[in-house]
Chain A
């Protein structure tokens, strides 16, 4: 008996507190410092995320530079210098921000931001200290001060407290900003999981930021900003009761300054209306007069279950900062433009939804074609709160959602209708939330939450539908260009050669051309120097047509444009213009000339074209009038269309019988050579 007690005491004597910093020192992988290559990327990422968060909070257009260079003080050492034009950090905060883990301003805030836990940058400082024994050198200047403070800081791992090694004042030409200078054991690589890819992704989803990377070999890569709008600062909101856990509720009530529970609940939690309050208190069996700080035990539990069961106002989405479809497109174009994709799908930005008391929303963008490789798996760009996710793609809800869509239905290859699809395509997926359920602290992958998965699937399908219609338009265009090749190049030669052999003049090919084409086409071309748009409408049908052509365009353009011939009607408000074309005989064409007004550079993509007077199955390059346009067509258009249709009716039996296409028929597949 005595022996056991002694052992227990011996064991007890070894028990002692482990500091957070010590814990992370031993478990580097949790924070993304498990190997030198990853450590470099994580340090860059944490510094840049902080810089962007700071700039946005201050409403400044971010200008962030990242310089990475080899440090000669030891083997495998690199120096990272990240500087920004943010508001700067007060001197008294600098030691804690950089030298203490779990210290931050955003952990308790219910709003979307890149960093949340207050671990990132101090973990980088910790890692730098561990591998090189060098402190971080931070230079920071706030606008009100004349000079910048320069501090060298280490993390005291045993106490999880900052240790300031030196401090000084320095003149800095920037009015405000922060510069972080770290030396750490690292390895620089290029490729998929590199600082360059991280910054490229960051540039896409932060088109308002200007990012510069200087690589160790001196290569300088600049991502210029594509938008000069600072995203609206996401608002801090109260925690919403849905998804709240017991401990959190307890903490909120303990900190409440209100005297009574009935006052504290509406002020400390979101969505609690007076009516809901009554219901909650009734369900929980409380009066409302209780001191918030004293509610505990069974009372607390019944209060929580009442909060979860009562219908409340949904959480506000003001705490979110979506990129928005306009800027997603602009960001993609800015960064991926050199790949010359031929299609940017209209990005989808879903309305906010609630998950576990926190609002979240999902955004998806897609580019297709151009010089993207046609037979590789699609490139998936994952983002959480505007931060690129470069690791653990396989473990992420975004990947799972992409894989769960049957992309074959939308025109991409996908083995068995599952897994990552293949095709010349890049997919951008962004999840924004006040609290993103990451699978680990290193924030590389989003957990597979059913609500999030569902939203992701809806957004992906919406974008995929755009892709599908693009691909079918493309097929139609290819079909058309095949027909044009036949009638413009091949048919005339067939006619010339056969006529020559029989010794007769070449016959008029119009009936054959209209028989092969049987469409009305609308083609646009830019005249020299892009001064406008030339629109050619050709009647490649066997019937004479009177057509009504509609152009839809931005309304300011509709107000200024003076086309030749002048339109027969303009509706500036709706941005519409229309013409009744002269009667076009088979193979006949006519042209509309548009010239940009002074100070306005238009573009063919500003216009949508619609044609009435011919069935939509015989239209190419324009669409039929949308059903909801309440348009009265001129009498001659209607009459000509009716006449063409009457002539178009073919007596039964005279239609061509379905024939086997000789050149498409299965050829003798046998390997019978025969020379």
Chain B
């Protein structure tokens, strides 16, 4: 069963009233299966494959989206039959929540499935995957199904004033530099307009940072004030809400987004999920990815040029780099040479290795140099 409407418009996601018809596509799913049963056909659903072989670059949006290859989830196999059954248990649960006006965290849903007997999930990965499948099948977001992640709390520091409608319905105006503690402003899982509005912004660009230690260093050195930067802590692989927030900053405030991570293959992937779109969420890349985001470092050449203290690549690192060579998102000449260089040198380095030259080096030398090269400063 191919998705009927490619989720290209922002309508379904940006406007809360769209959620009213969130349940409609679930009835369609049931109707399809019912039709197959009455025709004596083995129940099945067709889904686009979420693999790196099946993502395609969308010129219009500048992001990587799901391609046309599909797979079949069929009741011929036990795994397929169980996933079909789970889909209907999940749909039942979604209907129940809609009726009772409740929401549930992803983790709660996993535990709810304890009541599903044969259909209970074996791991949270399994339940999260099925929710993504349902997003794809129904061209809706999980929030439309009243399912959301736990509060992630990725933090923001810098001169941005936002207007948040908090859980009590009170509208709060918060400046992310002056009204917050050292921890910064913590992002809620919902960063849509109905929850967060941008009020005023003095920052000139966004610096998205992988590690908390580096965020703290820049804040302590006053980098946000000195350079008019908005610091966003990515917390490793960034959550959907963090990516969505970056996209909104970029699109609505026209702020350049620069990504600053460790220099290793996993960090390159963090950048890819911010700028190009992640494979797992390729069905909503247009909604999450920031095509204009740029990679600052640490690059493989930085390790050489700045003579940074490094570690030897592990077997997994090398494997990840080789896998990236066949990942279309890293198909550009720049990324190719970056990956080749890292493989050739066999070295990786952390952001914080810049401390080799003292605590101020990153803010006084490294970042100004790199941002200068990128014409951001």
A and B from one complex: yes
Is A664 positioned at the interface, with any CB of B under 8 Å from its CB?
Answer: yes
Can you spell out 11 A-B residue pairs with CB atoms less than 8 angstroms apart?
A: A490-B118, A501-B30, A501-B31, A502-B27, A511-B40, A516-B42, A659-B71, A663-B77, A664-B77, A674-B240, A675-B239
Q: Besides A490-B78, A515-B41, A663-B79, 9 other CB < 8 A contacts? A: A486-B75, A486-B77, A490-B118, A502-B34, A504-B34, A664-B79, A668-B50, A670-B323, A672-B237
Given A490-B82, A494-B43, A494-B84, A668 contacting B240 (CB threshold 8 A): no
A498 close to B69 (CB less than 8 A)? no
**A 648-671 binary contact with B (CB < 8 Å = 1; else 0):** 000000000001111111111111
Are A512 and B43 CB-contacts (below 8 A) given A490-B75, A494-B85, A507-B38?
yes
Given contacts A491-B75, A493-B118, A661-B71, contact A674 B280 (CB under 8 A): yes
Flag whether A190 is at the interface (Cβ < 8 A).
no
Min CB–CB distance A408 → chain B (angstroms): 25
B363 at the interface (CB under 8 A from A): no
CA–CA, A509 to B40, complex, Å? 7
Q: Which residues of chain B in 28-75 are interfacial with respect to chain A, using CB atoms and an 8 Å cutoff? A: 30-31, 33-34, 37-38, 40-43, 45-47, 49-52, 69-75
Nearest chain B CB to A364 CB, angstrom units:
37
A499–B27 Cα distance when bound, in Å, is: 10
Could you tell me which residues of chain A, from 466 to 490, have a CB within 8 Å of some CB in chain B? 482, 485-486, 489-490
CB pair B106–A674 under 8 Å, yes or no, is no
Give the Cβ gap from B148 to chain A, nearest Cβ, in Å.
9
Question: Beyond A489-B118, A497-B92, A502-B34, is A662–B81 a contact (Cβ under 8 Å)?
Answer: no
Q: Contact between B70 and A660 (Cβ–Cβ < 8 Å)?
A: yes
Number of interface residues of A (CB under 8 A): 38
Query: Given that A494-B84, A672-B280, A673-B236 are contacting pairs, would A515 and B34 also be in contact in the complex, using a CB cutoff of 8 Å?
Result: no
Q: How far is the CA of A482 from the CA of B77 in the complex (A)?
A: 8
Contact of A662 among B40, B72, B278 (CB under 8 A): B72
CA distance A490 to B40 in the complex (A): 16
Q: Chain A residues near B51: list those with CB within 8 A.
A: 665-668
- Decide if B101 is an interface residue (CB 8 Å cutoff): no
Chain B residues positioned under 8 Å from A489 (CB to CB): 118
A401 CA / B33 CA spacing, docked (Å)? 57
Which of chain A's residues have a CB closer than 8 A to the CB of B75?
Answer: 486, 490-491, 494, 512, 516
* Complex contacts, A502 vs chain B, CB 8 Å: 27, 30-31, 34
- Interface check A58, CB cutoff 8 A: no
Q: Are A661 and B49 in contact (CB under 8 A)?
A: no
Contact of A498 among B71, B88, B149 (CB under 8 A): B88
B109 at the interface (CB under 8 A from A): no
Distance between Cα atoms of A499 and B34 in the complex (Å): 6
B266 within 8 A of A: yes
**How distant is the Cα of A672 from the Cα of B273 in the complex, in angstroms?**
8
> Out of B26, B88, B129, which one reaches A494, CB within 8 Å?
B88
- Determine if A282 is an interface residue (Cβ-Cβ < 8 Å): no
The reply to whether the CB of A604 lies closer than 8 angstroms to some CB of chain B is no
Are the CB atoms of A515 and B42 closer together than 8 Å?
A: yes
Bound form: Cα–Cα A491–B78 in Å: 10
A contact residues around B106 at 8 Å (CB): 675
Contact A674 B30 (CB under 8 A): no
Provide the residues of chain B in CB contact with A668, threshold 8 Å: 50-52, 278-280
- The 7 A-B residue pairs whose C-beta atoms are closest, nearest first, are A511-B40, A662-B71, A501-B30, A675-B149, A497-B88, A668-B279, A660-B71
The reply to whether A663 and B73 contact each other, CB–CB distance below 8 Å, is yes
Q: Verify if B208 is at the interface (C-beta below 8 Å from A).
A: no
For A501, list chain B residues within 8 Å (CB).
26-27, 30-31, 34, 88, 91
Please indicate the chain A residues that have their CB under 8 angstroms from the CB of B37 in the complex.
494-495, 498-499, 507, 509, 512
- The B108-153 residues at the A interface (CB cut-off 8 A) are 118-119, 128-129, 149-150, 152
Q: Give A481's nearest chain B residue, CB to CB.
A: B78
Contact of B83 among A663, A666, A675 (CB under 8 A): A663
B80 at the interface (CB under 8 A from A): yes
> What B residues does A515 contact at CB under 8 A?
40-42
Q: Is residue B177 within 8 Å, beta carbon to beta carbon, of the partner chain?
A: no
Which B residues touch A511, using CB under 8 A? 40
Q: Write out the residue numbers on chain B whose beta carbons fall within 8 Å of the beta carbon of A661.
A: 71-72, 74, 77, 80
Cα of A665 to Cα of B85 in the assembled complex, Å? 19
Could you tell me the distance between the alpha carbons of A482 and B118 in the complex, rounded to whole angstroms? 13
Chain A residues, Cβ within 8 Å of B236: 673
Given known contacts A498-B88, A664-B79, is B71 in contact with A671 (CB within 8 Å)? no
B40: chain A residues at CB < 8 Å are 511-512, 515
Bound state CA distance, A489 and B240, in angstroms? 37
The one of A490, A498, A509, A673 that contacts B33, using a Cβ cutoff of 8 Å: A498
Residues of A within 8 A of B92 (CB): 497
Pick from B73, B85, B89, B266 the residue with the most CB of A within 10 Å: B85
Q: Are B71 and A665 in contact (CB under 8 A)?
A: yes
B281 interface hit (Cβ, 8 Å):
yes
A675 to B85, CA, bound (A): 24
Max count, chain B CB within 10 A of own CB: residue among A511, A663, A665: A663
Interface centre among A485, A491, A665, A666 (most CB of B within 10 A): A665
The minimal Cβ–Cβ distance linking B105 to chain A, given in whole angstroms, is 9
The answer to whether A674 touches B237, judged by C-beta atoms less than 8 angstroms apart, is yes
Docked-complex contact B78 and A674, CB < 8 angstroms: no
Give min CB distance, A674 to chain B, whole Å. 5
Task: Report whether B78 and A486 are in contact in the complex, using a CB–CB cutoff of 8 Å.
Answer: yes
Known A498-B37, A662-B47; contact A675-B72, beta-carbon cutoff 8 A: no
Interface centre among B42, B69, B266, B278 (most CB of A within 10 A): B42
What is the bound-complex CA distance between A664 and B72, given in angstroms?
A: 10
Query: What's the Cα separation between A449 and B348 when bound, in Å?
Result: 57
Q: Provide the bound-state CA to CA distance between A660 and B40, in Å.
A: 21
Whole-angstrom distance from the CB of A468 to the nearest CB of chain B? 25
In angstroms, Cα B89 to Cα A660, docked, is: 24
Write out, one digit per residue, whether chain B residues 296-324 have a CB within 8 A of any chain A CB (1) or not (0). 00000000000000000000000000010
With both beta carbons as reference points, the residue of chain A lying nearest to B324 in the complex is identified as A670
Contact of A675 with B88 in the complex, beta carbons under 8 Å: no
Whole-angstrom distance between the alpha carbons of A663 and B51 in the complex? 12
A660 to B44, CA, bound (A): 12
Contacts of B80 in A (CB 8 A): 661-663
* Docked pose: A643 CA to B150 CA in angstroms: 61
- A627–B235 Cα gap in the complex (Å)? 69
Contact indicator B119/A493 (Cβ below 8 Å)? yes
| B347 partner residues in chain A, CB cutoff 8 A | none
**What separation, in Å, do the CA atoms of A379 and B227 have in the docked complex?**
71
What are the residues of chain B within 8 A of A499 when measuring CB–CB?
A: 34, 37
Q: How far is A485 from B280 in the complex, measured between Cα atoms in Å?
A: 30
Please judge, given known A-B contacts A490-B85, A494-B75, A661-B80, whether A669 and B323 are in contact too, CB under 8 Å: yes
State how many angstroms separate the Cβ of B129 from the closest Cβ of chain A.
8
Interface centre among A499, A502, A511 (most CB of B within 10 A): A502
Bound Cα distance A671, B118 (Å): 29
User: In the complex the two chains form, what is the Cα distance from A588 to B82 in whole Å?
Assistant: 26
Cβ–Cβ < 8 Å partners of B26 in chain A: 501
Residues of chain A within 8 A of B269, CB atoms compared = 670-672
Which residue of A486, A507, A662 is within 8 Å of B34 (Cβ)?
A: A507
A494, A672, A675: the one contacting B150 at CB < 8 Å is: A675
Q: Quick one: given A482-B78, A486-B78, A675-B239, are A670 and B118 in contact (CB under 8 Å)?
A: no
For residue B76, CB closer than 8 A to chain A, the reply is yes
Closest residue of chain A to B282 (Cβ to Cβ) is A668
Taking the nearest CB of chain B, how far is it from the CB of A113, in angstroms? Answer: 57
Q: Report yes or no: B281 in contact with A674, Cβ–Cβ below 8 A.
A: yes
* Chain A contacts for B30, CB-based, 8 A: 497-498, 501-502
**Please, how many angstroms separate the alpha-carbon atoms of A673 and B129 in the complex?**
11
Residues of B within 8 A of A482 (CB): 77-78
In the complex, what distance in Å separates the CA atom of A666 from the CA atom of B26? 26
Contacts known (A501-B26, A668-B51); A674 close to B239, Cβ less than 8 A: yes
Query: A494, B33: Cβ atoms under 8 Å?
Result: yes
| Cβ contact of B85, chosen from A497, A509, A512, A670, cutoff 8 A | A497
| A668–B77 alpha-carbon span in the complex (Å) | 21
- Is the CB–CB distance between A486 and B71 below 8 Å? no
